[in-house]
Chain A
Amino acid sequence: MRWYRWLLLPVMAAYVALFIQVESGHRDTTPELTPTLPARMQQVAWSYMHQLGAEMLYIKAAVFLGGRSPNTKPESYAPTLADHFDVMSKLHPKLIDTYFLCESSLSWLSPDNARFVNSILDRGIAARPKQWMLPFFEGFNHWRYLNDPKTAASYLWRAVDTHTAPRWVGQLATILAAENGDIYGGLAWLQAMLEKETDPDLRARYKADITEFRKAMHVLQAIHQYQKVHGHKPAHLSELVPHFLTALPTMSHGFTLTYDPPRLNLKRSREKQQRKKEQS
């Protein structure tokens, strides 16, 4: 096998020559761009990872909330729970369960928690604009925990704007607006709701509410006239009679006018509503 010794040198020379040729060929060619999977498929594939992460966190939070003892102080877990909802809503904003659980577990703890929950709900509203419950929750939080019926009303109106909310949401929005002194806004909403409503019972209710709102509007207009004449608003509603109003209107359907200068509020009495329910 001595012949192979002499063969090795020319083989090596051939290898070097061919190597140089191959290398120059690879340098000249454009690198190959391998085909990629369609975007839709990749969006689905990658988004599954985020969705999976959010769902795992949801399960973790839900298992914790379901398994904790009744004596557990909320302060001990609220911050960590809040972090979970924060991450969940960022990972997968469209996961509706995040917002339900967040609303039910954190908003009632304190006004600060309610504000935090609202910030989470804002993400949900942006991700799921047609979901009426999310602005409804936020409105509820503003009314119930943050004592801000005006902002509450605006969120309820947003819920109504999704066109998926039940009808009573709009009515509630008008009441909240009126309670906060925005009687004109409430009247405008009621009239808009009356325009769209086809159910005769609801139309009758709206008309009844509109009548009460118009009475309140008369009083409001009288207050404005008083202010023009005297330069300030009246201290009591009785000062409007007889020069600006013939008489103070008698409110019905559970509505009462309250005057908390400078604001005129139209409130719906819940006790009277309850009595009315019992009677019917």
Chain B
Amino acid sequence: MPAWHRVSALGRIIFLDGLRRHALVGLVLLSLAAEVSGFLFMDFFGRDIGRASSDFLFSVIWAGGLMFLFFHAVQVISWDEERKVIYTILSRPLSRAEYVLGVFTGLLALLIGLQLLLGTAGYATLLVIKHSLATFYFQHLSLAHYLLTWAGLAVMQTALLAVIMLFSGMVRGGFPVLLLSVAYYGICAGLPVVRDSVDAHSAAGYLLQILTALFPDFSRLDFKDMVVSNLSVTHGMQVWMNFGLVLLYIGIVTGFASRIYARRDLQ
């Protein structure tokens, strides 16, 4: 479809612009350093080192992605508007929807690139830790589950990115987008806890269930407990349905983001 090469052209510009920002380079280096510090971190544990190390590494990957989203992604569209770069871009035969998709694609490429880099370094760190210890302390490391966990993490952060695009289209300014995005993340993290404490068959329970459609339960894509297990990778349909659900969610949110931005005046 001809529209996608316009989207990819803008995505490439966004990707290159982000790649050359010193702040993002610093974020990557900091995250890599934190991952490598996993070698020191494991010394604090007398046992269950495999689980502790993999938890630590995935926490670093998650934190790196969140920092990218909340300190860079929330501001991209507002920067374009404030610096009037958006006039240069939208003077091209690019619709508003293609603009939003182009920005989303560029930021997604940056995010996935960051996750790939950190994921690869993380797995290498786990391998080195595993081989430097007696088997008793780190018995299993499953590449398949590692990849599954990494994919879950990447999909969750892609959903966050789509929501950031939606908020960027709804409000002006990077700071309000940041506040809304952090609030959204907080609700997604807290809603499952609230649901567990409420009777699922009560009115409140049903309401919370409906809210989960708007604020997805990200913990359903968190598989890091299985990275050091020796369970079989073949899971029931539930895992893949959760992935499919969040991917559909990303499509819907991005679609709404495009539609909302198409109606806005650029002032």
Contacts and interface: CB of A to CB of B under 8 A. Distances in A.
B249 interface: yes
A18 B251 CA distance: 14
B245 A18 contact: yes
A23 B255 contact: no
B29 to A, nearest CB: 34
Interface string A1-37: 1011101100110111011011101110100001001
B238 A18 contact: no
A26 B220 CA distance: 10
Given A1-B97, A12-B252, A18 B200 contact: no
B255 A11 contact: yes
Contacts of B256: 8
Contacts of A5: 259
Nearest to A35: B225
Given A22-B242, A41-B47, A1 B251 contact: no
B193 interface: no
B97 A22 contact: no
Nearest to B249: A15
Contact of A23 (B101, B212, B248): B212
B255 A8 contact: yes
Contact of A11 (B46, B48, B209, B252): B252
15 contacts: A1-B258, A4-B255, A5-B259, A11-B252, A12-B252, A14-B248, A15-B213, A18-B248, A19-B213, A22-B220, A22-B238, A25-B237, A25-B238, A26-B238, A41-B46
Contacts of A37: 48
Interface on chain B toward A: helix, strand, loop, or mixed SS?
helix
Given A15-B252, A25-B238, A1 B245 contact: no
Interface size class of B (residues with CB under 8 A): 20 to 34
Contact of B244 (A4, A7, A18, A29): A18
B266 interface: no
Contacts of A27: 200
Interface of A: 1, 3-5, 7-8, 11-12, 14-16, 18-19, 21-23, 25-27, 29, 34, 37, 41
B35 interface: no
Interface string B17-57: 00000000000000000000000000000111000000000
Interface string B231-261: 0000001100110110011011001101100
A263 to B, nearest CB: 62
Contacts, number: 54
Contacts of B203: none
A56 B255 CA distance: 60
B3 interface: yes
B241 A18 contact: yes
B248 A15 contact: yes
Contacts of A7: 255
Contacts of A22: 220, 238, 241-242, 245
Contacts of B242: 22
A9 to B, nearest CB: 10
B53 to A, nearest CB: 15
A25 B46 CA distance: 38
A98 B48 CA distance: 35
Nearest to B2: A1
A222 B213 CA distance: 98
A16 to B, nearest CB: 7
Nearest to B4: A1
Nearest to A32: B225
B259 A11 contact: no
Given A7-B255, A19-B212, A19-B245, 9 more contacts: A1-B101, A4-B255, A11-B248, A22-B220, A22-B238, A25-B238, A25-B241, A26-B220, A26-B238
6 smallest A-B Cβ distances: which pairs?
Answer: A15-B248, A8-B255, A1-B97, A1-B3, A25-B238, A18-B245
A23 B200 CA distance: 11
A22 B221 CA distance: 12
Contacts of A21: 241
Contacts of A8: 252, 255-256, 259
Contacts of B258: 1, 4
